Amino acid sequence: MSLAVPSSTEFPTLSREGLVYLDTAATSQTVRPALEAMDRYYETYRASIHRGIYAIATEATDAYELARERVARFTHSTVGETVFTKNATEAINRVAYSWGRANVGPDDLVVISQMEHHANIVPWQLLGCRLAYIPMGDDGVLDLDAYDALLEQSPKLVAVAHVSNVVGTINPVAEITRRAHAAGAVVLVDGAQAAPHLVIDVQDLDCDFYVLSSHKMFGPTGTGVLYGRKNLLEAMPPYQGGGDMIANVTFEKTLYNQVPYKFEAGTPNIAGVAGFGAAIDYLSSIDRQAALAHEDDVLAYATARVREIPGSRIIGEARHKTGVLSFLIEGVHPHDAGTILDQQGIAVRTGQHCAQPVMDKFCIPATIRASLGIYNTRQDIDALVQGLQKVREVFA
């Protein structure tokens, strides 16, 4: 399949002269329909939701709830299992605080992986439970034999990334979930890096929780999603108290609203959710298989071109990966490389990528990370390689 690469008219920031954007794993560019949806909210039906009975309040509520329906279809879940958050990080923290405090004690075990983002490490540390990780090999692939050994300790929860933000590995989360459930564990999947690239079907994955971030999916910042099995959400206490998450309030007692609303206290990011819904529409309108094939082609091309650079070292070479190429250039600190690339208009991420344990695994301080979206091309990679040659000249 082939894909018509989106133009800069669809992603306005990409029209900036001289810009080569290779940092989609940090935040994707925002598609124009999402920007227009947010503008429509602010310009034509600016009002709060779920409260007013006047026309524009109804329009705002409809836009917000329509976005929820779009997300539910996108994840193959239901609206009653779709909770809006401000990002994937908050979604994980909601599970840790609400489900975790009710179900995980100090002596209980939570299993994560060695490739997790800090957002899927620190909340479990704050929970005060025992924490263990599934190790990965030098190729960036998780050791499932070691995982089985951890499951013999009867963990309460397994929390893993669907796709690593550093090495790009696509983890076999359906199999990880199957084994976890057989051991009696609940499963949370961090899908922040997967959702822009892969088809997400929580029924097929059979996970108990799945988290997303709009700003990784061509939508605005400040909006995310927690999918949770309805029976688990219904049993969980609220994460925060306030307006809209209640059914009845007296000074003696409060009755909570039904899910998902009991987890959405206060006035939410209405414009952001409207924009997120438009971004979901955009993602749903394209041929996802063709898009993934295009991204994989650009990634393979980037891998081959970077490997040709003398002194290069690629970090993580799993057979099944997507969207991310992390690497080093011998004798050059990643931050210095990033600065020189920026002077040439090439935007890459350098550092630990909020995944310091991955750096510790490979005994390195940081990496250069080029991460891809559907708008990237082989020409972008040629510019990157040309920029890296300049880096080598400076440090020769």
Domain at 344, CATH number = 3.90.1150.10
Burial call 300-321: b when 16+ CB within 10 Å, e when fewer: ebbbebbeebeebebbbbbeeb
Domain harbouring 166, CATH code: 3.40.640.10
Same domain, 321 and 181: no
Q: State which amino acid sits at residue 138.
A: D
The per-residue DSSP string of 223-278 comes to: -EEEEE-HHHHHHSPPSS-STTSEEEE-SS-EEEPPTTGGG--SS--HHHHHHHHH
How distant, in Å, are the alpha carbons of 152, 218, 276, 306, 337 from that of 173?
Answer: 18, 24, 25, 29, 34
Same domain, 243 and 345: no
Same domain, 281 and 291: no
Q: What is the pLDDT of residue 3?
A: 59
Tokens of 171: 């983890």
- Angstrom distance (rounded) from CA 272 to CA 345: 29
Share of the chain above pLDDT 90, in %: 96
Confidence of residue 9 (pLDDT cuts 50, 70, 90): confident
Same domain, 64 and 187: yes
The per-residue DSSP string of 220-233 comes to: -SS-EEEEE-HHHH
Confidence of residue 1 (pLDDT cuts 50, 70, 90): very low
Using the 8-state DSSP alphabet, how is residue 29 labeled? Answer: P
3-state secondary structure of 160: strand
Same domain, 313 and 278: no
Same domain, 123 and 257: yes
Same domain, 53 and 41: yes
Q: What is the pLDDT of residue 4?
A: 64
Using the 8-state DSSP alphabet, how is residue 96 labeled? Answer: I
> Is the C-alpha dihedral spanning 145, 353, 169, 220 positive or negative?
positive
Same domain, 307 and 183: no
Number of domains making up the chain: 2
Same domain, 62 and 156: yes
Same domain, 168 and 194: yes
User: Quick one: average pLDDT of 233-252?
Assistant: 94
Q: Of the residues 129, 207, 354, 363, which is catalytic? A: 354
User: Quick one: average pLDDT of 142-164?
Assistant: 98
Cα Rg for the chain, rounded, in angstroms?
Answer: 22
2 in any annotated domain: no
Q: What is the pLDDT of residue 8?
A: 67
207 given a catalytic annotation: no
User: Quick one: average pLDDT of 340-345?
Assistant: 98
Q: Which domain, by its residues, includes 130?
A: 33-285
5 in any annotated domain: no
4 in any annotated domain: no
Q: What is the pLDDT of residue 5?
A: 72
pLDDT at 322 over 90: yes
Same domain, 226 and 134: yes
Same domain, 98 and 205: yes
Q: For the segment 29-83, what is each residue's pLDDT rounded down to a tens digit?
A: 999 999 999 999 999 999 999 989 999 999 999 999 999 999 999 999 999 999 9
